[in-house]
Amino acid sequence: MNDPNHRPSPSSPPSPPSPPVGDEQLSAWLDGELAGAESTAVEAWLREHPEARARVDAWDADRRALRAAFAAVPDEAVPAALQRLVWRGGGAGAGAEGAEGAEGAEAADAPGTQRRAAPGIARRPWALAAAVAAALVTGALAGAGATWQWHREQASRLAAGTPQGWVQRAAYAHSVYVMEPRHYVEVKAQEEHLARWLTRRIDFPVKLFDLNEFGFQLVGGRLLPDGPGKSAQLMYQDTQGKRVTVYLRKPEKGVDAAFRYERQGDLGMFYWVEEGCGYALVGPLPREQLLAMAESIYRQEPVLPAPNMNPPAAPAAPAASR
Amino acid sequence: MHAPPAFRQRLLESIPRLRRYARSLAFDPGDSDDLVQLTLERALAHWQQFDASRDMLVWLLSIAHNAHLDGRRRDARLQVTDPVDLQRAQDEAGGDPGTDVGLRMDLLAALARLAPEQREPLLLVCVEQLSYAEVAEVMRIPVGTVMSRVCRARATLRRFLEAPDGRGGNAPLRRVV
């Protein structure tokens, strides 16, 4: 079962003639599967072998791209037929296939796709379009272009690596997710859990800002696998259902730290960079109101990692995001 | 005896992630929801085999893995969505999808070209973010095999993305496995 390339972990810390590290170990390291001395040895190897480093970086980029490609699927509404199946299936109508023996039932299920217990999941014309929108995150975002008056030249500003790309992505992400009727957040606002979850996945501690004094309550947050690295979005809502979002990410190098304001259509946005963290506040509010909120967020920004937060895990922790 | 409501509730909560995995395996939303449906049916039929102290998603993914495998054996060949169709549907959906769609097309086309034995563990690790031990449980293969398959899948995917003939572009990649 073991591949010949697979080497046992070095038993002592890496010394100058360190044993070569195979691709399987590099790949396992990227997935957070190595611990202790083995992980240390791989890291030392990567420092000395830029070509191996480049290979691992490319795998990492592919991993992010794969995540992004399917990131929108869990946000799609669950087809009613599947929900019905869960509540009624295995009951009255489907009793015959009850819990007899595992093997027997498996066999009976084998030609299953011909037997459609829940009608209506068959192909629909719009389904392909939905899949494409899901498969192509950018496609899913396209629908929001109308709201954010999003022009072609701005599309190129979204491109990874442009200095203010993250600011545009903040606006974009706002437009997309405030319109989501049901799945507008990924994790609801159970304060500590949400902060820990986001902090573990982006590179700096996430603080859940309190905007109650402005009548906006935190409803939850989501992780956005956009561009290089990750971003987090926090969403707030007032009693009339008006929503504002706070977008957090590590900005690209060369982004200036000034406190800036932009307006497009009915959306206003304040953004700034502080201590290596980029913040953008986006919402359909007048400038003064938004400014007051932005200032409040600025005052609440964490100076040091908050006491209750776990530090970001080791590179590529084997995090199961469940 | 029928599945209790608590079980059904957990099943319901697992659907979004189950759909993502099915979509990443089958691409076509109709096919992938068929796979989800089949998985849910089997889970409901065998709810007593589920150990409530364990992770339901891993259990469901392993059922989906088997169902998908059965489907492949039955069909003997796997139809994947033609990138040209994807592009057309994208155009019909309207809107300018942005600059990196070509890149994403290539990624999905390259993913579709991967042998299922490599594609599945890669998706479970990268997209579903399972540990190697969990992937081993889902696919019922040794952890060492997971490690080597994930590594080979990465190398193959890179080769497809870097090779000029591996590009999605105009060459339809209707892979028959």
ipTM of the complex: 0.79
Separation CA A157–CA A165 (nearest Å) = 5
Return the closest-CA partner of residue B11 out of A87, A183, A320: A87
Q: Is B24 a member of any domain?
A: yes
Question: Do residues B94 and B22 share a domain?
Answer: no
* B134 and B112 inside one domain: yes
- Residue contact A90–B89, C-beta within 8 A: no
Choose one of B30, B57, B75: the last residue of a domain: B75
Handedness of CA A88, A94, A97, A100 (dihedral sign): positive
- Give me the percent of chain B exceeding a pLDDT of 70: 72
Note whether residue B172 is domain-resident. Answer: no
| pLDDT exceeds cutoff 90 at B101 | no
Let me know the angle formed at the C-alpha of A207 by A201 and A209, rounded to the nearest 5 degrees. Answer: 135
> With an 8 Å Cβ cutoff, are B45 and A75 in contact?
no
- Confidence at residue B44, expressed as pLDDT on a 0 to 100 scale: 92
The whole-angstrom separation of Cα A81 and Cα A103 is 27
Give the C-alpha separation, A127 to A120, whole Å.
12
Domain at B117, CATH number: 1.10.10.10
Q: How many residues comprise chain B?
A: 177
Among the candidates B40, B59, B75, a domain finishes at B75
Predicted pLDDT of residue A191 = 63
Q: What is the largest CA-CA distance in chain A?
A: 69
Contact B147 A139 (CB under 8 A): no
Same domain for B107 and B60, yes or no, is: no
**DSSP type of residue A23:** H
Give the whole-number percent of chain A exceeding pLDDT 90: 18
Assess contact for B97 and A155: CB atoms under 8 A. no
* pLDDT in the model for residue A266: 76
In whole angstroms, give the CA distance from residue A58 to residue A64: 10
Q: Do residues B175 and B82 touch, judged by C-beta distance below 8 A?
A: no
Q: What angle do CA A310, A312, A315 make, to 5 degrees?
A: 145
Q: Is residue B177 part of a domain?
A: no
Q: Are residues B89 and B150 in the same domain?
A: yes
Kind of pairing between the strands at A243-249 and A277-283? antiparallel
Q: Are residues B64 and B111 in the same domain?
A: no
Which residues in B lie closer than 8 A to residue A131 (C-beta atoms)? 23, 27-29, 32, 81, 89
* Residue B176 placed within a domain: no
Number of domains within chain B: 2
For residue A94, count other CB atoms closer than 10 A to its CB: 17
Note whether residue B42 is domain-resident: yes
CA–CA separation, A202 and A30 (whole Å) = 16
Is residue B171 assigned to a domain? no
Work out the number of other CB atoms within 10 angstroms of the CB of residue A265: 11
Burial class (CB in 10 A: 0-12, 13-18, 19+), B39: buried
Tell me the CA end-to-end span of chain B in Å, nearest whole number: 40
Structural tokens at position A19: 């044993």
Query: Does the beta-carbon distance from B131 to A112 stay under 8 Å?
Result: no
* Joined tokens for residue B104: 């994403």
Residues B17, B69 within the same domain: yes
Answer yes or no: is B49 within a domain.
yes
Distance (Å) from the alpha carbon of A144 to chain B's nearest alpha carbon: 9
- Please, are residues A267 and A172 in contact by the beta-carbon 8 Å criterion? no
Give the nearest partner residue to B38 out of A1, A55, A112, using CB atoms: A112
Considering the entire predicted model, what is its pTM?
A: 0.49
Cβ neighbours of B3 in A, within 8 Å: 90-91
Closest among A41, A30, A6 to A319, alpha carbons compared: A30
pLDDT tens profile B13-70 = 899 999 999 999 887 888 889 999 999 999 999 988 888 888 899 999 999 999 988 8
pLDDT reading at B155 higher than 60: yes
Closest approach of A228 to chain B, Cα-based (Å): 13
| Between A207 and B98, the higher pLDDT residue | A207
- Answer yes or no: do B93 and B35 share one domain: no
Instruction: Decide which of B17, B48, B75 is a domain's last residue.
Output: B75
Q: Are residues B91 and B56 in the same domain?
A: no
Choose among A245, A246, A248, A274: nearest CA to A259: A274
What residue has token string 């820990």? A196
B110 & B146 share domain: yes
Expressed in angstroms, the distance from the first to the final Cα of chain A is 30
Same domain, B49 and B87: no
CA distance B148 to A213: 54
3-state DSSP assignment of residue B131: coil
Please give the Cα distance from B108 to B160 (Å, whole number).
Answer: 11
Structure tokens at A216: 């906006």
C-alpha to C-alpha distance for B26 and A73, rounded to whole angstroms: 13
CA-nearest residue of chain A to B6?
A: A87
| In a shared domain, residues B53 and B18 | yes
CB-CB contact of B106 with A65 (8 Å): no
Q: Is the pLDDT of residue B7 over 80?
A: yes
pLDDT exceeds cutoff 90 at B104: no
Residues B146 and B97 in one domain: yes
B127 occurs within a structural domain: yes
Contact A258/B at CB under 8 A: no
- A51-60, A136-145, B77-86, B89-98: which is most confident: A51-60
Of B12, B123, B131, the CB nearest to A86: B12
Chain B contact for A310, CB < 8 A? no
Cα–Cα distance, A107 to A102 (Å, whole number): 9
For chain A, which ranges sit under pLDDT 50? 1-4, 8, 10, 12-14, 92-163, 304-322
Neighbour-count burial of B82, counting CB atoms closer than 10 A to its CB (0-12 exposed, 13-18 middle, 19+ buried): middle
Q: What is the CATH number of the domain that holds B15?
A: 1.10.1740.10
Residue-range definition of the domain harbouring residue B35: 5-75
Helices (H), chain A: 23-30, 36-48, 50-70, 80-88, 102-109, 125-135, 137-142, 152-158, 165-178, 191-201, 287-300
